């Protein structure tokens, strides 16, 4: 016996400062179709219109039965404030800031809507389709225009009281992100229009990349030590929008730095260390994870809220 993947679908929408992605996943968690486009100050209303058009296109092109799309999930770059579904993103996403995002989307589509932050959703995407198939507990670092994280413990997303577990930027002096890399590259004469442009053109041989990796690797090593000391996870996963080669270079640099930070062995045995690895899922990880959250909660883990702090609204 096997699941019928077409028995149910969910849609995910990830909203970043410069990019918006949409995806439909089936009951097996597999992406059926996706779309990405620059986020030019898009508002929730215009995003809802784009999402509606995307879903109808999925029906026409991929045969998705819209009556079987049972949930929509939004993943927005920002941290939660107070209770509910209000997020506080950066200034580029002013239209999404400090408002209830759940109610208007539920009114527009007539199905349940959940709201998550980008890093948590990306961690779920990695759990379902990436390194989560090997590790049951890991910390995911979301490196994009900003810096954040998500935590998977015992196979479940740990959100914390307010949904902000994994805000790793708060424990680092100067959290590295792709905007700081752009600044380093600009100083070397490599001009890029924005983060998306840099990612699409990225070359490990660019001058300044090695220096940024060396400096950032120390920060990731320190983060790995702190995360492991508090949560004893199996791995620290470097993902978000990092190009694969860059993520692997960072993981190597951070791994070497982390080994030097751990205490010396006792009785010939040292403290077990987490692996530092590049994420396997980069493209659309947040949108895939967001779409998968409501399906997973509905069908696979009805008691997940007992282990995840405050449940999603």
Please tell me the distance from the alpha carbon of residue 244 to that of residue 263, in angstroms, as a whole number.
Answer: 31
> Which of 120-151 are b and which e, b meaning 16 or more Cβ less than 10 Å from the residue's Cβ?
bbbbbbbbbbbbbeebebbbbbbbbbbbbbbb
Average pLDDT over residues 51-79: 95
pTM: 0.89
Please tell me the distance from the alpha carbon of residue 10 to that of residue 156, in angstroms, as a whole number.
Answer: 19
Rounded to 5 degrees, what angle do the CA atoms 17, 21, 27 make?
140
Question: How large a percentage of the chain has pLDDT more than 70?
Answer: 95
Reported as a single tens digit per residue, the pLDDT across 211-241 is 999 999 999 999 999 998 899 999 999 999 9
Q: Greater confidence, 283 or 127?
A: 127
Please tell me the distance from the alpha carbon of residue 220 to that of residue 167, in angstroms, as a whole number.
Answer: 14
Domains of the chain: 5-117+284-306 (3.30.420.40), 124-278 (3.30.420.40)
Please tell me the distance from the alpha carbon of residue 152 to that of residue 164, in angstroms, as a whole number.
Answer: 13
User: What pLDDT band is residue 301 in, cutting at 50, 70 and 90?
Assistant: low
pLDDT of residue 313: 34
Strand ranges, E, within the chain: 9-15, 19-26, 31-38, 69-76, 79-80, 87-88, 113-117, 138-143, 147-153, 156-158, 235-240, 275-278
CA proximity to 284, closest of 113, 89, 54: 54
């Amino acid at each position: 016996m096997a699941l019928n993947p077409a028995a149910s679908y969910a849609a995910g929408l990830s909203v970043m400062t410069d990019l918006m992605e949409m995806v439909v996943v089936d009951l097996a968690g597999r992406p059926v179709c996706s779309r990405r486009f620059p986020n030019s100050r898009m508002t929730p209303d215009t995003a809802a219109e784009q999402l509606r058009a995307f879903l109808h296109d999925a029906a026409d092109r991929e045969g998705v039965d819209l009556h079987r799309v049972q949930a929509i999930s939004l993943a927005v770059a920002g941290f939660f404030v107070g209770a509910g579904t209000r997020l506080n993103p950066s200034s580029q996403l002013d239209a999404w800031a400090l408002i209830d995002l759940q109610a208007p989307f539920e009114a527009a589509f007539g199905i349940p809507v959940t709201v998550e932050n980008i890093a948590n959703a990306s961690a779920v995407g990695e759990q379902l389709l990436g390194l989560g198939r090997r590790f049951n507990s890991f910390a995911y670092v979301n490196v994009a225009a900003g810096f954040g994280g998500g935590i998977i413990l015992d196979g479940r997303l740990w959100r914390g009281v307010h949904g902000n577990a994994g805000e790793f930027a708060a424990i680092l002096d100067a959290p590295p992100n792709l905007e700081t890399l752009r600044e380093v590259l600009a100083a070397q004469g490599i001009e890029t229009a924005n983060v998306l442009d840099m990612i699409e053109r990225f070359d490990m041989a660019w001058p300044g990349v090695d220096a940024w990796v060396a400096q950032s690797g120390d920060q990731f090593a320190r983060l790995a030590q702190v995360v492991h000391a508090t949560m004893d996870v199996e791995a620290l996963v470097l993902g978000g929008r990092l190009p694969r080669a860059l993520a692997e270079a960072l993981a190597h640099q951070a791994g070497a730095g982390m080994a030097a930070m751990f205490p010396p062995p006792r009785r010939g045995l040292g403290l077990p260390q987490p692996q530092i690895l590049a994420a396997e899922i980069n493209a659309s990880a947040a949108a895939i994870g967001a779409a998968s959250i409501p399906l997973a909660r509905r069908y696979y883990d009805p008691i997940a809220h007992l282990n995840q702090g405050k449940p999603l609204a």
